[in-house]
Amino acid sequence: MQLNIGFVSTRFAGTDGVTLEASKWAEVLESNHHRCFWFAGELDHDADCSYLMPEAHFQSEANTWINDRVIGRRERKPNVTQAIHDQRASLKAHLHRFIKRFNINLLVVENALTIPMQVPLGLALTETIAETQIPTICHHHDFYWERVRFTVNGVSDYLRMAFPPNLPNIQHVVINSEAREQLALRTGIASVIVPNVLDFDQPPYVATEGPLRFRRSIGLRDDDRIILQPTRIVQRKGIEHAIELVKALDDPRCKLVISHEAGDEGFEYAEWLKEYACEHQVDLRLVTTRISDPLRADQADSLAPSLWDVYPFADFITYPSLQEGFGNAFIEAIYFRKPMMVNRYAIFVRDIEPLGFDLALMDGYLSKKTVQLVKEILSNPQRRKAMVDRNYAIARQHYSYTILRERLSVMLRSLFGDAVAHLAAAPDVQTHPEVLDIAPYEMDYQRFNCQDCERLAAR
């Protein structure tokens, strides 16, 4: 039995963790002849397999108006309740049309029933799943109780109802053991852990021309060292520690490059980082062109870089996050055999660190010992190779597509029985074509260093 699978979220575009993991799931499912379709408020998928509904985006005008009146407030006015239900009714009608248009057999809800950035969509999904009894997998990346910003809210009744809903036709998936325990404790819902994964059985192909091309695109010289922060610019990523590390390395060749844009949680933190980099006399490059999803073959475009065009050419990865649901950038760095510095965030300590990865670690602050280790790694090729090879072998065992196929197969069998075959590995294929053009990418970036201090201070 081949399934028509409908992925639903607020956004499937760019390189945020939800979008990337959904692409990986779709890649595994489509390689087994299932068909995937997409419903969201922002999409970069082809129109013939997607249903764009701008009202479903977490930054839509109507949803922003609602969030401003329910997040950080304990009460909810009647007109806000009415606005929520007006949006819920509209979104539910479109979800029913999506299911009918593409003859959807299975829904995969990506974080839209987990974190209440779009309350009306969560309510609409819950009612749609209950009304249709369509088999559903809810893929939960981070729950509202994990975020301080949702501690005080005026929608606690809706959170209990839909974030997430407890319905018999839903299989729940979480990405770490703490989330599984808290979900069971708070709601009584059982779940399966599916960690973030990559295809470690097929190492990435890196074209020799690429390093020169990417460096030219962001104004770097051939001998500069790229210290890459491969995350969105949000406060919980702890990017100020990356700036402190580059300052402590005291090497003018070291340039800090942030590959993902700001905006999901405002721009105030990004502006502060620019000033912080100037104060520390750190050369900071912000890539302001949206980096595309590397797992999407339909986005192959030599003029626009994907995430896979960025990682291979970094000399070192910084990942000083204060909080993560899992950590996509962590396994991406390992996939490209890059050394990295990691802050010991809670999920890392519990689920990842015990596996024995070889890393430069910090524990909430940047110590001289950590800085010295990073210097050693950058200056010692043998030490660096031993580190990244060990990490790759560990990740291949624990975070490969094999794990994803096995756990998806179990869930599909529980929902459809023997009608759905066990998911098999795809044939070995080269998914990263050779880059022959070394002209700079068509991409924008911003540069900030100590010369910009006076200009920033005058704002």
Q: Are 181 and 240 in the same domain? A: no
Q: Are strands 50-52 and 4-8 parallel, antiparallel or unpaired?
A: unpaired
Q: Mean pLDDT, to the nearest integer, of 301-311?
A: 68
For residue 198, is it within any domain?
A: no
End-to-end, the C-alpha distance of the chain in Å comes to 61
Which residues does 156 contact at the CB level (< 8 Å), separation at least 6? none
Pick the residue with more confidence: 430 or 269?
269
* Whether the bond into 204 is cis, omega within 30 of 0: no
Tell me: do 175 and 255 sit in the same domain. no
Residue 19's contacts (CB-CB under 8 Å, 6 or more residues apart) are 9, 11, 12, 13, 293
pLDDT tens, residue by residue, 28-86: 999 999 999 999 999 989 999 999 999 999 999 999 999 999 999 999 999 999 999 99
Residue 374 belongs to some domain of the structure = yes
Question: Do the domain assignments include residue 406?
Answer: no
According to the model, what pLDDT value does residue 267 have?
83
Judge if 330 and 384 occupy the same domain.
yes
Q: Name which of 171, 132, 14, 156 is nearest 71 in CA terms.
A: 156
Q: Let me know if residue 135 belongs to a domain.
A: yes
The answer to whether residues 170 and 256 belong to one domain is no
Q: Other CB atoms closer than 10 Å to residue 370's CB: what's the count?
A: 19
Please indicate, yes or no, if residue 416 is contained in any of the structural domains: no
Claim to verify: residue 132 and residue 276 sit in the same structural domain: no
Residue 456: pLDDT band (50, 70, 90) is very low
Residue written as token pair 């700001």: 262
Give pLDDT, residue 298.
Answer: 58
Which of 351, 334, 344 has its CA nearest to residue 387? 334
Segment holding 203, helix H or strand E: none
The more confidently predicted of residues 309 and 124 is 124
- Do 104 and 55 lie in one domain? The reply is yes
Residue 81, both tokens: 């309740």
The parent domain of residue 222 ranges over 210-399+435-455
What's the predicted TM-score (pTM) here?
0.86
Q: What is the pLDDT of residues 81-105, one digit of tens each?
A: 999 999 999 999 999 999 999 999 9
pLDDT of residue 449: 60
Domain count of the fold of the chain? 2
pLDDT tens digits along 380-426: 999 999 999 999 999 999 999 999 999 999 999 999 999 999 999 87
Q: Are residues 446 and 354 in the same domain?
A: yes
CATH of the domain at 370: 3.40.50.2000
Q: What confidence tier does 250 reach under pLDDT thresholds 50, 70, 90? A: very high
Statement: residue 201 has pLDDT above 70: yes
For 228, list phi and psi in degrees, rounded to 5.
Answer: -100, 130
> How many angstroms separate the CA atoms of 345 and 76, rounded?
34
Distance of alpha carbon 89 from alpha carbon 95, whole angstroms: 10
In a domain, 62, yes or no: yes
pLDDT digits (tens, 9 = 90+) for 108-154: 999 999 999 999 999 999 999 999 999 999 999 999 999 889 999 99
Domain boundary among 127, 161, 193: 193
What pLDDT, on a 0 to 100 scale, did the predictor assign at position 207?
Answer: 62
User: In which element (H, E) is residue 37 found?
Assistant: strand 35-40
Helix (H, G, I), strand (E, B) or coil at 435: coil
Q: Which residue has the tokens 């295809």?
A: 199
Tell whether 355 and 286 lie within a shared domain.
yes
Residue 370 · residue 389 · CB < 8 Å: no
Structure tokens at 115: 């974190």
Domain assignment present for 222:
yes
Dig out the tokens for 43 from the structure.
């999409």
**Amino acid letter, residue 236:** R
How many other CB atoms are found less than 10 A from the CB of residue 123? Answer: 25
Q: Which CATH number goes with the domain that contains 77?
A: 3.40.50
- 140 and 225, same domain (yes or no): no
Give per-residue burial for 14-53: e unless 16+ CB within 10 Å, then b. bbbbbbbbbbbbbbbbebbebbbbbbbbbbbbeeebbbbb
pLDDT at 14: 79
Residue 458 class from Cβ within 10 Å (0-12 exposed, 13-18 middle, 19+ buried)? Answer: exposed
Q: Are residues 184 and 248 in the same domain?
A: no
Q: pLDDT-derived band of residue 434, with 50, 70 and 90 as boundaries?
A: very low
| pLDDT greater at residue 161 or residue 209 | 161
Q: Say whether pLDDT at 301 is over 70.
A: no
Helix, strand, or coil (residue 190): coil
Q: What is the DSSP string of 386-417?
A: HHHHHHHHHHHHHSBHHHHHHHHHHHHHHHHG
Are 336 and 447 members of one domain? yes
Q: Has residue 312 got a pLDDT over 80? A: yes
Looking at residue 433, what is its pLDDT? 43
Q: Which of 126, 161, 193 is the last residue of a domain?
A: 193
pLDDT at 435: 41
In-domain check, residue 269 = yes
9 versus 216: the higher-pLDDT residue is: 9
* 222 and 146 in a common domain: no
pLDDT tier for residue 458 given thresholds of 50, 70 and 90: very low
pLDDT of residue 214: 72
Residue with more model confidence, 434 or 316: 316
Q: Is the pLDDT of residue 364 over 80?
A: yes
What is the per-residue pLDDT across 146-186, written as a single tens digit (0 to 9) for each? 988 999 999 999 999 999 999 999 999 999 999 999 999 99
- Of the three residues 143, 161, 193, the one that is the final residue of a domain is 193
**Selected residue with higher pLDDT from 16 and 381:** 381
